[in-house]
Amino acid sequence: MFDLNKIVEPVLGLQGLEADLTEEERAIQEAAHGFARDVMRPLGATLDKMTAEEVVAPGSPLFEYLRQVHESGLLDLAAIAGMDNQQKARIMPIIFEELGWGDSGLAIAALASSFPAFAAHNTGDAEIIERFGSLPGCWLATQPDRGSDAADMDGSIVQPGTRQSRGNLYARVVGDEVIVQGQSSAWVSYAPLAQTALAYIPCDYGQGLEHENGRGLNHIGILIPLDLPGVSKGKPLEKLGQRPLPQGELFFNEVHVPKKYVIAEGDAAITSFLSALTFGNMEMAATFTGVARAAYEHALAYVHERKQGGTPIINHQSVQLRTFDLWQKVELSRAITQRVFAYNYSDKGPHLAASITSKTYVTETAFQVASEALQLFGGNGLTCEYPIEKLLRDARASMIEDGETNTLKLKAMHWLSRAYQRNH
């Protein structure tokens, strides 16, 4: 039993019902929060109003942000890699939530653009690290005809008796080279500015593209320098949300890549892709907990300012209930996020089913929270003068990014069903 001798207001942290942050965790949280508030929010709001072409043009505020985020050390992947698993599980969701609270598109821009460099460092190979280790890049998996099929790279949710699309971009191994032909989808984040691509694409190793399981394709994971002859880029994509995060197509016309740059072949390429998706989905959950929290905080402030019915609208009990509902959804989002980080960095993890559990819940919840927050703003919520409509658009994009919600849920259920069948 608790023994309360007086009733006081709850003591809340930046991240709500937080209990026991260490001094180090508190310092990191405050640094991330200050950066999100002072740098990301203003730059994100500016970039949101620019055209996709302007976002990637020389002198764009995007470059100022990237310079500052690297200087801040908040996303120093080498430092994160040096933490023990318990530190990673606790510190990463704190940082990503703050950055998502600042601006989700910018948070993802910094991370997505460093994926190839991170993969290069992971190889431990001096030549690859020298070539790719410090260049901004992108993560390329989807193609015009392979969207969800790319997310389902292991072919686990293909309908019996059917086959996945063969797509529009593939590689073939010829001697010491990998020849890449075709085009990516228009959705490759940071592609318009990338100098390298970490590509997971179908590959013909000499026996065709079809994987022997008949449900998917053979794949290769390869680092591609984008200054090679035959590479070109499409126009940056105009889209609904996360506008500070540029996307675009990459075209490959018989591009010869040294075989040395292959990071994973055959089934290992599929595992490598699913590992990246496992990290990405988990990170998205933390980022969009930050988006949900931002929407809740704006709504909380607004309902105390806006007067209707002769009083600030917070004094109407229905508004109190609706605002509480937002608070609770943010807390639940954070709880599932932290639980999945803890699981993935435990001896039992990581698993894509865990990451999907958090990513799909949190992104859908962030959209609901932003939508109801907008409703609490009334007509003002619809205008660009207030920050809510941007959060709604940012959250909307997150339900398709990094794997469309339903496709991901099907993949997770496939694994849960497999686990059930093994035990029964």
Ligand X SMILES: Cc1cc2nc3c(=O)[nH]c(=O)nc-3n(C[C@H](O)[C@H](O)[C@H](O)COP(=O)(O)OP(=O)(O)OC[C@H]3O[C@@H](n4cnc5c(N)ncnc54)[C@H](O)[C@@H]3O)c2cc1C
Smallest gap, in angstroms, from Cβ of residue 317 to ligand X?
38
Selected from 129, 179, 335, 410, the binder of ligand X by CB under 6 A is 410
Helix axes 104-112, 61-72, angle to 10 degrees: 70
Q: Cα separation of 17 and 6, whole Å? A: 19
Residue 77 binding ligand X, by CB under 6 A:
no
Between the CA of residue 242 and those of 41, 62, 300, what are the distances in Å? 12, 13, 23
Q: Cα separation of 222 and 173, whole Å? A: 11
Residue 244 binding ligand X, by CB under 6 A:
no
- Give all strands (DSSP E) within 276-382, no chain letters: 307-308, 311-312
Residue 220 binding ligand X, by CB under 6 A:
no
Helix axes 41-48, 104-112, angle to 10 degrees: 90
Selected from 101, 139, 343, 367, the binder of ligand X by CB under 6 A is 139
Selected from 95, 112, 277, 326, the binder of ligand X by CB under 6 A is 112
Selected from 43, 89, 151, 201, the binder of ligand X by CB under 6 A is 151
Residue 407 binding ligand X, by CB under 6 A:
yes
Smallest gap, in angstroms, from Cβ of residue 320 to ligand X?
35
Selected from 29, 60, 113, 148, the binder of ligand X by CB under 6 A is 148
Interacting span for ligand X (CB under 6 A) from 54-62, 220-228, 295-303, 405-413: 405-413
> Three-state secondary structure along 138-158?
EEECCECCECHHHHCCCCCCC
- Kindly report the backbone phi and psi dihedral angles of residue 395, in degrees, each rounded to the nearest multiple of 5, phi listed first: -65, -35
Give the torsion through C-alpha atoms of 211, 167, 105, 109, to 10 deg: 70
Residue 413 binding ligand X, by CB under 6 A:
no
For residue 182, the cross-strand partners are 169, 252
Interacting span for ligand X (CB under 6 A) from 185-193, 284-292, 337-345, 358-366: 185-193
Interacting span for ligand X (CB under 6 A) from 17-25, 57-65, 135-143, 301-309: 135-143
Residue 255 binding ligand X, by CB under 6 A:
no
Residue 394 binding ligand X, by CB under 6 A:
no
Contact 386, 376 (CB under 8 A): no
Binding marks (x or -) toward ligand X, 348..387, rule CB under 6 A? ----------------------------------------
Residue 344 or 407 having the CB closest to ligand X? 407
Q: Taking CA 154 as the corner, what is the angle to CA 149 and CA 155, rounded to the nearest 5 degrees?
A: 55
10 Å Cβ neighbour count for 423? 6
Residue 400 binding ligand X, by CB under 6 A:
yes
Footprint on this chain of ligand X (rule: CB under 6 A) = 112, 139-142, 147-148, 151, 157, 185, 187-189, 242, 247, 397, 400-401, 403-404, 406-407, 410
